[in-house]
Structure 1
Amino acid sequence: MVFSHERLSGYPASGGYDSSKLIRSMQEIFPAGRILIVIREQVSLIQSMYSQIITDGGSCSLKGFLNPPEPKFVRVPQFNLKFYEFDRIIKYCQNLFGVENTLVLPYELIQENYQNFLDEIGFFTHSSNWLTIKRTQEMPSNVPMNTKKTVLLQSFNRVLNGCFYRNQLSNSAMFEFQVIPKLIRRIDPLTRALTPKFL
């Protein structure tokens, strides 16, 4: 049985404030469980997380996202650079589940050597199913996992969110037009056509 969800380690945009609580809950439910942690190079991860915040309805600038106001008060969950110190969560999992039951793999290995990524999981779980996957099923190394949003689209999205899409991430917007995400998806092809290839 496998349970997988990025939320299990905490939500990056809110600083993973409940990471330890979630991990403790997993250990209480599955005391003999094994943990796979996939980590990513921090700069690219933060860039991706900011882009996702905009997609989800956020309207703050990158500077505002990285430097939330009054961080020492922590009145609400917010960005926290400590979340990206992966050694902390790795050690926490190792203490709860055991070093031998905790595997850490880099996200980049999925594209660099997909078969090795699967093999590592197979050895860790003692599962023959992972090891029988043929190399013909490897993911092409030059194909991104997700289609990256253009700078033009995200800039337009951020303005619309801040003015017309009131939600948890943009609660000061004047209106609450739920059609904004649908509109953004419709103009995505246009922004790709207008965006230079090097951006």
Structure 2
Amino acid sequence: MKTGGESWHNRSMTSPEPSREILIHPGFHKTGTTFLQECVFSDERYFRSLLDHGDVDRLLLRPHDLEFDEALPREEIARRMDPVPNSLVPVLSSETLSGNILTGARDSRTLARRLHSVFPSAKILFTVRNQPALMKSAYLQYAKRGGRLKPSQFFDFNAEPGYDRFDIGVLSFDRLVDEYASLFGRENILVLPQELLRQDQGKFLSLLFEFAGVAGSPPEGGYEGSRGKSPPEAGLALLRAANLFDSTPFQPRPAIALPSLGRGLRSLSYRLEGRSDSKSGNLGQIVREKCSNRFANSNRNLQKYCPIDLTPLGYDVSS
């Protein structure tokens, strides 16, 4: 009788590899990924998105290391790619593939290797954002998803051994990009900054289309799409209070189950533009202090993957 390991090995070795090159966009978080997924990669004149976030979680993220079988996503992707016209670029886009930035993304290398085991000849697109802006956005997302720690507590939280926490080292983007380059080849890696997407969507799309091998030029006028609204800094203290009363991803069981009160406070927190939030501390100042003189070496290394000068976009590259 075969063991589970023998069965896994035999299946993996005989499963079909995807017959065509795929574009993988593994993040990073808070870099315009939702816009790309909902507006650009959903445009079936050019692309065909193969998996949604739920599929990615089920096939690539959720399986335990001792159970992961690359044959399963390989077979499902092969089936989904089969009817895709040759004129379209198959895409796999999910920021979850770079790990959860709010809890340290400690599985990011594991996920890179899983992707390579399934799609060894893929092209890899990373989107990035200057570290202070992304760090600030990450905290706002944390509060939005139910977190109750103040900024200084969140960034400096000393979790018990074996438990996850935010890790500022995740914002040294070049480390994970280098890992992908070692797996897929330097020539198959492109890094584009979110700031370029905001300032010159046409140029951003032209670089993306050329790299992906899209047949045709980006649509004239680009794309319009809504972006998720982050809570204002002024409402952070109220939002953290709201998180006491309602079920959230970070707190499935609220401290005090009063969901109507939680929803009311949350709604009010989004209307407090322009007012100070002294109880939370100055988020911008905290972020600037945390990022000061920290990412210059990383950004200089990252520049070799990016055809756009990062310096005027707010990336520290000082020597």
Offset of residue 190 of structure 1: 4.1
Structure 1 residue 46 corresponds to structure 2 residue 135: yes
Structure 1 residue 35 corresponds to structure 2 residue 121: no
Which of 119, 138, 155 aligns to 2:237? It is 155
Q: What letter is aligned with 1:191? A: L
Are the counterparts in 2 of residues 152 and 191 from structure 1 also a CA contact under 8 Å?
Answer: yes
Q: Structure 1 residues 183 and 24, CA, compared in 2 at 3 Å: closer, same or farther? A: farther
Q: 3-state SS of the aligned residue for 1:147? A: coil
- Name whichever structure is richer in helix by fraction: 1
Structure 1 residue 82 corresponds to structure 2 residue 160: no
**Distance in 2 separating the partners of 1:147 and 1:184:** 16
Q: What letter is aligned with 2:151? A: L
TM-score, reference length from structure 1: 0.82
Are the counterparts in 2 of residues 27 and 96 from structure 1 also a CA contact under 8 Å?
Answer: yes
**Distance in 2 separating the partners of 1:104 and 1:74:** 34
**Distance in 1 separating the partners of 2:171 and 2:165:** 13
Are the counterparts in 1 of residues 238 and 269 from structure 2 also a CA contact under 8 Å?
Answer: no
Aligned match of 2:105: 16
Give the greater-gyration-radius structure (CA): 2
User: Unpaired runs of 5+ in structure 2?
Assistant: 1-89, 277-319
Aligned match of 2:219: 133
**Distance in 2 separating the partners of 1:180 and 1:32:** 51
Q: Which has the higher contact order (CA 8 A, sep 6+)?
A: 1
**Distance in 2 separating the partners of 1:180 and 1:137:** 41
Describe how 1:116-195 pairs up with structure 2 within 5 A.
116-129=203-216, 131-134=217-220, 136-137=221-222, 145-161=227-243, 163-165=244-246, 169-170=250-251, 174-179=255-260, 182-184=263-265, 186-187=267-268, 190-192=271-273, 195=275
Offset of residue 155 of structure 1: 1.8
Which of 85, 96, 107 aligns to 1:7? It is 96
User: Unpaired runs of 5+ in structure 1?
Assistant: none
Are the counterparts in 2 of residues 167 and 176 from structure 1 also a CA contact under 8 Å?
Answer: no
Q: Between Structure 1 and Structure 2, how many residues are aligned?
A: 188
Q: What letter is aligned with 2:104? A: G
Are the counterparts in 2 of residues 34 and 101 from structure 1 also a CA contact under 8 Å?
Answer: yes
Q: 3-state SS of the aligned residue for 2:255? A: coil
- 1:106-165 deviation per Cα after TM superposition (whole angstroms, max 9, x unaligned): 111101110111111111111124x2411x2356xxx9944342223322011222x324
Which of 199, 204, 207 aligns to 1:112? It is 199
Are the counterparts in 2 of residues 166 and 175 from structure 1 also a CA contact under 8 Å?
Answer: no
